[in-house]
Amino acid sequence: MSMPLRIEGELTIYRAAELKNTLLAAVAEHDTLDIDLSAVTEFDTAGVQLLLVAKRAAAARQHTLRLVGHSAPVIDVFELLDLSSHFGDPIVLPA
């Protein structure tokens, strides 16, 4: 069962510590987890790291983690750092 975890607001260093716990808990709990990024307003390196760590954690447990609904700031960073290869999720560009 895929459960979307929706992140709202800043996915940045300011909330990194708190979001880390949330993410990792969610990863542990669900076999398949979708993270909905459509409401992310800001995204920085710390945020990138969190997503990366989450992905690894999922892999370690053989759970599936998917990123969906990349918002504009997220797309921006993903392109800047060419992160698609790290995550493998299709990025749907807004029309």
Partner 1 sequence: MNMDDALATFFAESRELLEQMETSLLGIGQENDTTETVGAIFRAAHTIKGSAGLFGLDDVVSFTHVVESVLDVVRDGRLAIDEPMVTLLLACGDHIGALLDALETNPGQRDESLIERGAPLTAQLRAYLGTGLVAADEPQAPFERMGGINPCEKDLWHISVRFGADVLRNGMDPLSFIRYLGTLGTVTGIVTLTDALPAAEAMDPESNYLGFQIAFRSQAEKAAIEGVFDFVLDDCTLNILPPNSRTGDYIELIRSMPEESARLGEMLVRCGSLTAKELAAALLVQEQRHPEIIPIGSILVEQGSVAAPVVAAALEKQKRVKENKAQESQSIRIDAEKLDQLINMIGELIIASAGANVIARKSRNIELQECHSTLSGLVERVRDSALQLRMVKIGATFNRFQRVVHDVSREIGKDIVLVVNGEDTELDKTVVEKIGDPLTHLVRNAMDHGIDSAELRAKRGKPAQGTVSLNAYHDSGSIVIEVSDDGGGLDREKILAKALERGLIEPGRVLTEAETCALIFEPGFSTAEQVTNLSGRGVGMDVVKRNIVALRGTVDIASQPGVGTTVTVRLPLTLAIINGFQVGVGKSVFVVPLDMVDECVEFTSDSGHDYTDLRGQVLPFIRLRELFEVPGAAGTRQNIVVVKHAGQKFGLVVDTLMGEAQTVIKPLSRMFSQVKGISGSSILGSGDVALILDVPALMEEAQFPVTHTPQLA
Residues that bind partner 1 (CB under 8 A): 13, 16-17, 19-20, 24, 44-46, 48-50, 52-54, 56-57, 60, 77, 80-83, 86
Nearer to partner 1, 6 or 56 (CB): 56
CB of 23 to partner 1, least distance (A): 9
Q: In what order do the strands lie in the sheet with 2-11?
A: 2-11, 32-43, 64-68
The DSSP secondary-structure symbol of 55 reads H
CB of 93 to partner 1, least distance (A): 19
Of 23, 93, 33, whose CA–CA distance to 67 is shortest? 33
